Amino acid sequence: MKFYVNARYLIVPFMSLIAIVGILFGGSFAWVGVGLFALNTLIDTLTKNIHLAADFDDSGESYGIKKLQYSVMFLMLPVFIALQVVLAYRIFQYNADAPIVINSFLGLSYQAGISGFNLIGATVSSGLWAGLGIIYGHELSHNKKEGFLVSRLIMALSGAAHFTYAHVYNHHLDLGHEDDPATAPRGRNIYTHAWLSHMGQSRFSYILEQQRLRKRGSSALNIDNRWILGYLYSLPSIVLFVWAGGGVGVAALFSVWVIANFLLEALNFMGHYGLIRKDGPVEHRHSWDNDSVFTSWFFIEIGRQCDHHVRGETYFWELDDVEGPNYGIGYFSLFVITLIPPLFRVYVQKHLENWDEKYASAEEKLIAQKFAY
Amino acid sequence: MLNFFRRSPANFAVNLAESDISFNVERGDSLLSSALGAGVPWPFKCKVGSCGKCKCRLVDGKIKPQLDFGYVLDISEIKQGYILACQSVPKSDITVSVNLNENEMDGK
Ligand code: FES
């Protein structure tokens, strides 16, 4: 049981490595990361009706091995760095007009040089898998000092180191309230939300730092300003891509960041869309659960939002179904629906009506009436 | 000299100042989760170090902060020994002072 519980959370590390190897092999393998994403969407959709509870032994202890899971999360930092390095290597070849030939290394054939088309595949693959850094960046933002820094570094690879502070000090405190940029109000689409949420969290993070430094009598223009520091953590990526490919490198890195941040904000969008919280504590009803089996394992239980927001200190492998609002489908399937806003509006309507009726407090109901959806 | 090889205890004792309440914290656990586990009605709201509701004053002993308290507590509070229970892992037996009547929820 212990092996099963711990091994099931290794899908992303395993697939990230395949995406990296795909880019290294080159040719059409550069698209492997994109293909895996499509495959995952299919698996998630096919298994959407399987929902499992968390596993505990007879004494109520979780089977999760903390040392193992933390080692994996920490090791994902070099994996995500490798993902950028292999893309930069391909951009370098493209920019240098390296001839596209088949070479062999240790008996394995790979394509040296890369076409523009396959470079697009490598870039999209990198963006999609870099975007999944959020699941580790998120978990590590909540537990232990060392984890917080690793979370920031993982997020910095996508130009989003501000997330770690904004998530803890803004999202968790102001969830479901208009002061939380990561909660999407009813009627907003995912594209608008991605932009507003990203900028709102960055702005919050800046103000948070400004206030902290002011308390100490320091100016916000300070190397100790962690908002500035977060962006500085992204500098090595910028330098690498500029060096590797000049304008092409910058365009590729920008694409990776846009895709990665879009995925991050898509998770925020799906986790809280349209939910309302008036004064009072955060409760299970203020989040949507997405806990079908593949989503649970792939996204290391980040879809168990209802439990997470009430027990923010709880390790992901201990989060459980708390019978909160539940879309009933996984993140991959829901993500596809959110990409088409008119379809999402139709889909979400019955869920919102159900929420208003079954979960909302009287005050929350009143606020809900102001929204047309 | 042998101290170096001695294992640190599996848990530490927490005493609440000006009361006869005490409980144990397992090594690595937070002060708040242990208090709640022991049935102490400790005030809290977010459990992630952002609301300040769980704050208490460390009277004696050592803790390891898990997050920077500077975002939630004032410098003067930190100087007086205030800590966030949800983000504090005891590193020795400790005595803390906390207002257990603070646990009504307020604001958003
Ligand atoms: S419970 Fe909110 S800071 Fe500790």
The H or E element spanning position B16 is: strand B11-16
Instruction: Report yes or no: B13 and B27 within 8 Å, Cβ to Cβ.
Output: no
Say yes or no: CB of residue B53 within 6 Å of ligand 1.
yes
Amino acid in position A306: C
Q: How far is CA A269 from the centre of its chain?
A: 11
**C-alpha to C-alpha distance for A343 and A287, rounded to whole angstroms:** 21
Say yes or no: CB of residue B43 within 6 Å of ligand 1.
no
Chain A contacts in chain B segment 10-39 (CB below 8 A) = 30, 32-33
Look up the ipTM and state it.
0.81
pLDDT above 60 (res B7): no
pLDDT in tens, B84-100: 999 999 999 999 999 99
For the CA of B46, the nearest atom of ligand 1: 2
Tokens representing A194? 């991605």
Nearest to A160 by CA among A204, A219, A94: A204
For the CA of B87, the nearest atom of ligand 1: 4
What's the pLDDT at B88?
A: 96
Domain limits, chain B? 10-105
Q: How far is CA B58 from CA B13, B17, B38, in A?
A: 13, 9, 19
What's the pLDDT at A266?
A: 98
Tokens representing B4? 């170096």
* Cα(B41) to centroid(ligand 1), Å: 14
Spatial CB neighbours of B104, under 8 Å, sequence gap ≥ 6: none
Each residue's pLDDT, cut to its tens digit, for chain A (373 residues) gives: 999 999 999 999 999 999 999 999 999 999 999 999 999 999 999 999 999 999 999 888 999 999 999 999 999 999 999 999 999 999 999 999 999 999 998 899 999 999 999 999 999 999 999 999 999 999 999 976 779 999 999 999 999 999 999 999 999 999 999 999 999 999 999 999 999 999 999 999 999 999 999 998 999 998 999 999 999 999 999 999 999 999 999 999 999 999 999 999 999 999 999 999 988 889 999 999 999 999 999 999 999 999 999 999 899 999 999 999 999 999 999 999 999 999 999 999 999 999 999 999 999 999 999 886 5
Say yes or no: CB of residue B35 within 6 Å of ligand 1.
no
Write down the CATH number for the domain with range B10-105: 3.10.20.30
For the CA of B85, the nearest atom of ligand 1: 4
Chain A neighbors of B50, CB-CB under 8 A = 168-170, 172-173
Nearest to A268 by CA among A199, A203, A198, A169: A198
Q: How far is CA A62 from CA A18, A77, A138, A264, B88, in A?
A: 30, 26, 20, 28, 23
The H or E element spanning position B97 is: strand B94-97
What's the pLDDT at B1?
A: 44
What's the pLDDT at B101?
A: 84
- Tell me, yes or no, if B57 comes closer than 8 A to chain A by beta carbon: no
Q: Cβ–Cβ of B65/A145 closer than 8 Å? A: yes
Q: Cβ–Cβ of A208/B48 closer than 8 Å? A: no
For ligand 1, mutation pick of B30, B33, B42, B47 (most atoms within 8 Å of CB): B47
Model-level pTM? 0.93
pLDDT in tens, B30-78: 999 999 999 999 999 999 999 999 999 999 999 999 989 999 999 999 9
Amino acid in position B37: G
Looking up tokens 């509006």, which residue turns up?
A: A345
Q: Cβ–Cβ of B67/A145 closer than 8 Å? A: yes
Say yes or no: CB of residue B86 within 6 Å of ligand 1.
yes
What's the pLDDT at B2?
A: 47
> How buried is residue A104: exposed, middle or buried, by Cβ count under 10 Å (0-12/13-18/19+)?
exposed
Q: What angle do CA B71, B77, B83 make, to 5 degrees?
A: 70
| Pairing assessment for the beta strands B94-97 and B11-16 based on DSSP bridges | parallel
